[in-house]
């Protein structure tokens, strides 16, 4: 491997399931293995990071490393020029977590987003690609970042004041006369949870997710391209494929930074 191509590209899409675990392993890779990393975040990824209260955490992890950087899709042009780094700097591309939407686009050669463009360039550059696809483990229990139980609201005699206490103006009264949360604006500060007198607002609501009927065929297609697929970040991290990549990359990056 070229001494210049010693960076890992880690893509984050808009999947909430295994998002927190993905960031934990990303931090482990950067802090423990000292691997220069470029983190690519899709537009949906940015929104979901904020919904789960992880946006600032990710920026702090990247900023602590002199040789790491973060690329947000909303700051890139339509040509996504920074994905071209796979031809000169990147040794491996990891997308974790991967949404069904991203998987479907990769399987069908569509590259109209930051992440799918990155993968398309990686395949053309013969750079290994790894996808962590949470849907493979379905049915599985996942979390909604914040949730309003409107059955409680319907039986509430109080005048709803949650709209006024939200500093992000993320709570609004819908046409049904009940409170709703704009998840794009919400940063999970928790003020509404504490202020609701009936405790109708909950963080981390548990829900069941089932596998999409086309998932198996899409996974088969990406595997036929040479892409390695895992069902969760832990399995990916503990695999021989990733351990060998980390070992090679950490040796090269250490020699460059020493």
So what's the pLDDT on residue 2? 43
Question: Residue 247 pLDDT > 90, yes or no?
Answer: no
Arithmetic mean of pLDDT over the chain: 89
Q: Which two tokens stand for residue 117?
A: 């463009």
The strand pair at 171-173 and 201-209 is best described as unpaired
57-66, 75-84, 170-179: least confidently modelled range: 170-179
In this prediction, residues 227-235 reach a mean pLDDT of 96
Alpha carbon distances (Å) from 23 to 2, 29, 41, 60, 73: 27, 10, 12, 11, 18
User: Is pLDDT of 219 > 90?
Assistant: yes
All residues at 6 or more sequence positions from 127 whose CB lies less than 8 Å from its CB, including other chains: 86, 90, 91, 92, 93
- Residue 253's pLDDT is 55
Q: CB within 8 A of 79, min separation 6: which ones? A: none
65 vs 6: which has the higher pLDDT: 65
Residue 28 scores a pLDDT above 70: yes
The pLDDT score that the predictor gives to residue 250 is 64
Query: Cβ atoms within 10 A of the Cβ of 74, count?
Result: 10
Domains, the chain:
7-138+211-257 (3.40.50.1950), 140-209 (3.30.70.20)
What are the residues whose beta carbons fall under 8 Å from the beta carbon of 109, sequence distance 6 or more? 120
Distance CA 84, CA 31 (A): 25
- Span 118-158, pLDDT tens digits: 999 999 999 999 999 999 988 888 888 888 888 888 888 77
- pLDDT class of 5 with cuts at 50, 70, 90: low
Determine the pLDDT at residue 1.
39
């Amino acid at each position: 491997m070229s001494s210049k191509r010693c960076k890992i590209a880690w893509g984050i899409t808009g999947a909430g399931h295994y998002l927190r675990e993905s960031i934990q392993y990303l931090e482990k890779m950067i802090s423990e293995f000292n691997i220069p990393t470029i983190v690519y975040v899709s537009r949906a990824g940015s929104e979901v990071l904020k919904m789960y209260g992880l946006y600032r955490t990710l920026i702090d992890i990247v900023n602590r490393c002199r040789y790491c950087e973060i690329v947000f899709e909303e700051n890139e042009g339509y040509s996504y020029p920074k994905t071209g780094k796979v031809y000169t700097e990147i040794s491996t591309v990891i997308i974790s977590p991967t949404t069904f939407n991203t998987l479907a686009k990769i399987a069908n050669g569509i590259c109209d987003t930051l992440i799918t463009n990155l993968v398309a360039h990686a395949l053309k550059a013969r750079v290994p690609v790894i996808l962590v696809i949470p849907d493979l483990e379905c049915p599985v229990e996942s979390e909604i970042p914040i949730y309003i139980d409107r059955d409680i609201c319907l039986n509430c005699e109080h005048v709803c004041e949650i709209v006024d206490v939200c500093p992000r103006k993320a709570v609004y009264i819908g046409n049904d006369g009940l409170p709703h949360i704009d998840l794009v604006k919400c940063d999970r500060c928790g003020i509404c949870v504490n202020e609701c007198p009936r405790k109708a607002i909950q963080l981390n609501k548990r829900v069941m997710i089932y596998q999409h009927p086309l998932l198996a065929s899409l996974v088969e297609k990406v595997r036929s391209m040479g892409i390695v697929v895992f069902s969760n970040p832990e399995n990916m991290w503990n695999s021989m494929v990733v351990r060998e990549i980390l070992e090679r990359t950490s040796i090269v990056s250490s020699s460059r930074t020493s």
